[in-house]
Amino acid sequence: MPVKAGTTLDPQATRRRVLDSAVQLFYERGVHAVGVDEIAQHAGASKLTIYRNFGSKEGLVEAALRDRSERVHRWLATELEQIPAGRERVMALFDLLTRWYTEQGYLGCAIVNTAVETRHLNGVVRELPRAHLMRYRELLEGLLSEAGIAEPAALARHMLLLIEGATMITAIDGEAAAGHDARAAAEVLFDAARRNAQRDAQWDAETD
């Protein structure tokens, strides 16, 4: 789609269109199935513009993954700020993800999908999914620490397994039931951790 004669060019807006197109097309069809030509046409930009901004297709994939990850975590942080700290906020994370699972066109986690598709690659594209999951763990650790869990790191790892398992199952069967199941399991884990902490505190008080 060529730019009309006389149109004022906005390099940042063009870059944003290319990135949005790449994020959408990679998510819908996968990294290998979508070429630079198609992204350029979808975004109304030239291939030269794409290479000038991103260097290569791999550079565009990297930028698209970073953009997607940042938007997901920014959305979660903004929504969770509205929930009082504690057990309710931890469970709200699962509620948000389950709501996401019900959206039309949900195909799983774009970052994890790309990790599977590009598992033969090395470098930044391969490392970005690890960073994305680490941000989930850090988010969970923070929420659990706010909720008074004494050792949040281990529980955060367990809850991340629930999240990623539910994400994968939802992507395969197209239903959000796995999200509800993950929340129920997270409640059990959270309540057990809190009971253990209370028991340990009582034991310490009795033995002082």
Q: Mind listing the pLDDT tens digit for each residue in 80-121?
A: 999 999 999 999 999 999 999 999 889 999 998 988 887 766
Residue 6: predicted pLDDT: 43
The reply to whether 74 and 136 lie within a common domain is yes
Structure tokens at 151: 């050792």
Q: Which residue has the tokens 């395969």?
A: 172
Q: Which contacts of 24-29 are long-range, i.e. CB under 8 A and separated by 24 or more positions? A: 26/61, 26/64, 26/110, 26/114, 27/68, 27/107, 27/110, 27/113, 28/105, 28/107
Cα(102)–Cα(90) distance, integer angstroms: 20
CB atoms within 10 A of CB 140: 24
The reply to whether 109 and 169 lie within a common domain is yes
Q: What is the pTM of this model?
A: 0.86
What is the CATH number for 174? Answer: 1.10.357.10
User: Residue 1 pLDDT > 50, yes or no?
Assistant: no
Residue 131: predicted pLDDT: 93
The reply to whether 78 and 51 lie within a common domain is no
Q: Residue 146 belongs to what domain range?
A: 65-201
Q: Mind listing the pLDDT tens digit for each residue in 137-164?
A: 999 999 999 999 988 999 999 999 999 9
126-141 average pLDDT score: 93
The reply to whether 135 and 190 lie within a common domain is yes
